[in-house]
């Protein structure tokens, strides 16, 4: 007999491998006794897993049981080989095979601006699909074209120095190439007054010659933006620190902070149902009708804002995009932040969450939110900056899992700095705030 051979079926991962005993002419023969076969491999690149690491050709059989050879490098591998070696049998058999790279089946979606897109710097992120990586492209005034499989593209994130090396087609430019779990890119030196269209294309195959792209559109991919400012956060002199959205069943809870405001009348909140094909932005809150969104107007220290969107029942499992618009004294409007959320049955965070939102003041009333991962009793106390307790807001009250809204009368307190302390079942939270009349 001449030794052992192997057959490989399947063009991707996992591969199914069968080891068998052969005559010199290649025809299979029955094993005279149990024969152990060990499996080796030599990939050109990537990570491989063989299960099991050895197989047995049982006495009287000509082949082993099928085992799996799994290729776990999503970037792509062009060549590799398996070697099956049988104990007490002379000879080995190598089987060279091709692992074909296929395009990802899920495209990147939901491009979201990070901060205010401006000429000096525009940053955006997205929700990844299932590719090994993704290229990001941009075009002035029109939709970018799609890349070509196997084509080499060199990214350049500085729009002012783009060249033919970064070109895709006639006027689409590659501004980023992001691998792994990366989901954000920044492009600099755009032109004020121009409208830019951005697209993200998922791909497999790290070697450029192997790349296969998903060229389909997805929700909010592509997305456009007209550049109206030179530098971020220089619009009406407003600086947004954080814009966060969490959920209870049927409710969106929005919290954001400003670090500085000048000549701001207030804010508007809009909601887009990302599962709806028309992508209409619905106004859910305005400073004209919701006092929670009235701006400080002019402040060097900023302000904390909280708003609950209970305009309609938000459907569990659906994904929504909230957009925050600042309105200046002269009526000028511009989107300054946005955030995506998928509505869940309960709070977005895990069971261990216990947090206290920033405190907002409305006349002589302090407003704040307590978010807990499980229903529990809490005690809420108010202290002055010297550590003296000045009030008990709530004592051993039961609050539900999720976001709980509280109000406290502070009309009898003098101007100064105060601290709210919330003690829960196993943890506590504190928040400092100022009273200035």
Percent of the chain with pLDDT over 70: 71
Residues of the domain holding 382: 354-435
Cis peptide leading into residue 178 (ω within 30°) = no
Q: What is the pLDDT of residue 104?
A: 87
Is there a contact between 54 and 39 (Cβ–Cβ < 8 Å)? yes
In a domain, 429, yes or no: yes
- The yes-or-no verdict on residue 101 having pLDDT over 80 is no
Mean pLDDT score, 218-240: 75
Mark which of 165, 193, 226 sits at the end of a domain.
226
In a domain, 231, yes or no: no
Same domain, 334 and 397: no
- The yes-or-no verdict on residue 5 having pLDDT over 70 is no
Mark which of 65, 97, 129 sits at the end of a domain.
97
Mean pLDDT score, 66-95: 49
Same domain, 159 and 91: no
50-54, 310-314, 368-372: which has the highest mean pLDDT?
368-372
- Residue 91 vs residues 38, 87, 94, 359, 389: alpha-carbon distances, Å: 13, 10, 10, 77, 85
- The yes-or-no verdict on residue 349 having pLDDT over 70 is no
Same domain, 382 and 290: no
In a domain, 232, yes or no: no
22-36, 38-52, 188-202, 366-380: which has the highest mean pLDDT?
188-202
- The yes-or-no verdict on residue 8 having pLDDT over 50 is no
Q: What is the pLDDT of residue 1?
A: 36
Mark which of 203, 226, 249 sits at the end of a domain.
226
Task: Tell me the backbone φ, ψ of residue 182, rounded to 5 degrees.
Answer: -60, 135
Percent of the chain with pLDDT over 90: 30
Please give the Cα distance from 286 to 314 (Å, whole number): 19
Higher-scoring residue by pLDDT: 349, 260: 260
What band does 317 get if pLDDT is binned at 50, 70 and 90? confident
Q: What is the pLDDT of residue 2?
A: 41
Mean pLDDT score, 230-241: 62
In a domain, 349, yes or no: no
Same domain, 86 and 148: no
Please give the Cα distance from 226 to 314 (Å, whole number): 30
Give per-residue burial for 102-137: e unless 16+ CB within 10 Å, then b. Answer: ebbeebbbbbbbbbbbbbebbbbbbbbbebbbbbbb
In a domain, 234, yes or no: no
DSSP letter string over 106-124? S--EEEEEES---SSEEEE
Q: What is the pLDDT of residue 181?
A: 85
- E strands, 228-318, in order: 239-248, 251-262, 264-273, 281-286, 298-299, 303-309
**pLDDT tens readout for residues 16-67:** 556 666 666 667 767 766 766 665 554 444 455 555 666 676 766 666 655 5
Q: What is the pLDDT of residue 339?
A: 84
Q: What is the pLDDT of residue 207?
A: 63
Mean pLDDT score, 329-357: 70
Please give the Cα distance from 393 to 379 (Å, whole number): 8
Please give the Cα distance from 410 to 228 (Å, whole number): 42
- Residue 279 vs residues 51, 218, 219, 283: alpha-carbon distances, Å: 47, 12, 9, 13
In a domain, 208, yes or no: yes
- The yes-or-no verdict on residue 12 having pLDDT over 50 is no
Please give the Cα distance from 172 to 167 (Å, whole number): 6
Higher-scoring residue by pLDDT: 85, 351: 85
Q: What is the pLDDT of residue 204?
A: 82
Please give the Cα distance from 17 to 80 (Å, whole number): 14
What band does 358 get if pLDDT is binned at 50, 70 and 90? confident
- The yes-or-no verdict on residue 407 having pLDDT over 70 is yes
What band does 94 get if pLDDT is binned at 50, 70 and 90? very low
Same domain, 379 and 414: yes
Q: What is the pLDDT of residue 187?
A: 96
Same domain, 132 and 220: yes
Instruction: Provide the CATH number for the domain around residue 10.
Output: 2.60.40.10
Same domain, 138 and 190: yes
Q: What is the pLDDT of residue 103?
A: 84
37-41, 183-187, 301-305, 306-310: which has the highest mean pLDDT?
183-187
* Mean pLDDT over each residue of the chain, to the nearest integer: 78
Instruction: Provide the CATH number for the domain around residue 399.
Output: 2.60.40.2360
Half-sphere exposure of residue 259: CA atoms within 13 angstroms, side-chain side: 7
Q: Select from 89, 73, 99 the least CA-distant residue to 8.
A: 99
Higher-scoring residue by pLDDT: 110, 354: 110
**pLDDT tens readout for residues 113-146:** 887 788 899 999 999 998 888 999 999 999 999 9
**pLDDT tens readout for residues 266-285:** 999 999 988 777 778 899 99
DSSP letter string over 29-52? ---SS-EEEEEEEEESSS-EEEES
What band does 429 get if pLDDT is binned at 50, 70 and 90? confident
Q: What is the pLDDT of residue 424?
A: 86
Q: What is the pLDDT of residue 111?
A: 92
Element (H, E) at 19: strand 15-22
- E strands, 263-301, in order: 264-273, 281-286, 298-299
Task: Tell me the backbone φ, ψ of residue 291, rounded to 5 degrees.
Answer: -65, -25
Q: What is the pLDDT of residue 337?
A: 85
Mean pLDDT score, 188-212: 86
Please give the Cα distance from 190 to 208 (Å, whole number): 28
Q: What is the pLDDT of residue 51?
A: 59
Question: Which residues, 6+ apart, have CB-to-CB distance to 387 below 8 Å?
Answer: none
| Sign, Cα dihedral of 210, 182, 340, 140 | negative
Task: Tell me the backbone φ, ψ of residue 399, rounded to 5 degrees.
Answer: -120, 150
Same domain, 84 and 190: no
Q: What is the pLDDT of residue 63?
A: 62
Same domain, 30 and 80: yes
Count of domains forming the chain: 4
């Amino acid at each position: 007999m001449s030794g052992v051979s192997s057959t490989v079926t399947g063009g991707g991962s996992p591969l199914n491998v069968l080891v068998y005993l052969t005559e010199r002419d290649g025809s299979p023969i029955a094993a005279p006794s149990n024969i152990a076969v060990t499996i080796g491999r030599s990939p050109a690149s990537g990570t491989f897993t063989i299960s099991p690491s050895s197989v047995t050709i049982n006495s009287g059989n000509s082949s082993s049981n099928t085992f799996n050879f799994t290729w776990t490098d999503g970037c792509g591998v062009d060549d590799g080989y398996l070697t099956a070696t049988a104990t007490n049998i002379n000879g080995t058999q190598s089987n060279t095979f091709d692992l074909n790279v296929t395009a990802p089946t899920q495209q990147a979606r939901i491009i979201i601006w990070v901060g205010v897109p401006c000429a000096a710097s525009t940053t955006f992120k997205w929700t990844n699909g299932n590719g090994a990586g993704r290229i990001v492209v941009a075009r002035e005034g029109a939709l970018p074209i799609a890349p070509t499989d196997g084509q080499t593209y060199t990214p350049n994130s500085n729009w002012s120095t783009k060249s033919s090396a970064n070109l895709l087609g006639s006027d689409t430019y590659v501004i980023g190439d992001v691998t792994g779990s990366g989901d954000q890119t920044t492009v600099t030196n755009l032109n004020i007054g121009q409208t830019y269209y951005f697209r993200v294309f998922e791909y497999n195959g790290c070697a450029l010659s192997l790349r296969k792209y998903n060229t389909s559109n997805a929700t909010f991919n592509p997305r456009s933006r007209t550049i109206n400012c030179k530098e971020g956060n220089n619009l009406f002199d407003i600086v947004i620190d954080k814009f966060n959205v969490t959920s209870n069943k049927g409710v969106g809870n929005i919290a954001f902070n400003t670090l500085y405001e000048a000549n701001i009348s207030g804010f508007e909140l809009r909601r887009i149902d990302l599962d709806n094909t028309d992508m209409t932005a619905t106004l859910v809150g305005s400073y004209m009708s919701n006092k929670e969104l009235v701006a400080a107007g002019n402040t060097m220290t900023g302000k904390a804002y909280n708003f609950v969107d209970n305009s309609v029942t938000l459907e569990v499992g659906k994904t929504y995009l909230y957009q925050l618009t600042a309105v200046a004294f002269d009526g000028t409007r511009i989107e300054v932040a946005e955030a995506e959320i998928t509505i869940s049955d309960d709070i977005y965070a895990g069971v261990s969450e216990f947090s206290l939102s920033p405190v907002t003041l409305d006349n002589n009333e302090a407003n704040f939110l307590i978010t807990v991962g499980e229903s529990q009793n809490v005690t809420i106390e108010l202290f002055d900056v010297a550590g003296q307790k000045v009030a008990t807001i709530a004592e051993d009250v039961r609050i539900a899992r999720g976001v709980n809204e509280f109000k406290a009368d502070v009309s009898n307190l003098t101007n100064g700095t105060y601290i709210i302390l919330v003690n829960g079942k196993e943890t506590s939270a504190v928040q400092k705030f100022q009273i200035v009349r």
